[in-house]
Amino acid sequence: MIMPRGAGQLLLPANPLFIALSLILALIIDMIPMGRLPAMPNLMAVVLVFWGVHQPRRVSVGWAFAFGLLIDVHHGALLGQHALSYSVLSYGAVSLHRRLLSFGLSVQALHVLPLFVAAHALELLVRMSVGGMWPGWSVVLAPAFEALLWPLVTVLLLAPQRRAPDRDANRPL
């Protein structure tokens, strides 16, 4: 099998418990009451896109919708606002997953930036259509921060899959 250009090594299969733990941890971090700034990146969206790209059969649009409803209930937002944007975001990630994995991390971040922009625009459109207040122009910074988080999240969440399947004293990893 010919390896794609961006793949440096073969990865172990992702542990479903690790996937669930990372999604729940992102949900908990998004639920921490730090005050919601318009430019604050949405970590749940970044993790959903990551798993949508790397494990599209395990984490897909249904999970994104469910986590979006949980975020809606917690933030007291219009029910379905985050669920809709996370579903669109997850659909975009699943549809780009084959193409995206052939690039390096910086190019991947540029490819997911339009997904994050579209998700935030959709959230803003839903919020404004029901009479919500304009959050200010700093809202355009959130997708950029999420795209900047992409390489860090990728390195962190792929780390358990990079370990050797059988440990050996002569193998560095």
Per-residue pLDDT of the chain (173 residues; tens, 9 = 90+): 455 555 566 777 888 999 999 999 999 999 888 766 777 889 999 999 999 999 999 998 999 999 999 999 998 888 889 999 999 999 999 999 889 988 999 999 999 999 999 999 999 999 889 887 888 888 889 999 999 999 999 999 998 887 665 666 666 55
d(CA 30, CA 45): 10
The widest CA-to-CA distance across the chain, in whole angstroms, is 64
Nearest-angstrom CA–CA distance, 80 and 72: 7
Tokens of 46: 């970044």
Kindly report the pTM of this predicted structure: 0.86
In this structure, are residues 115 and 99 in contact, taking their beta carbons and an 8 Å threshold?
no
Give the start-to-end residue ranges of the domains of the chain. 16-28+39-160
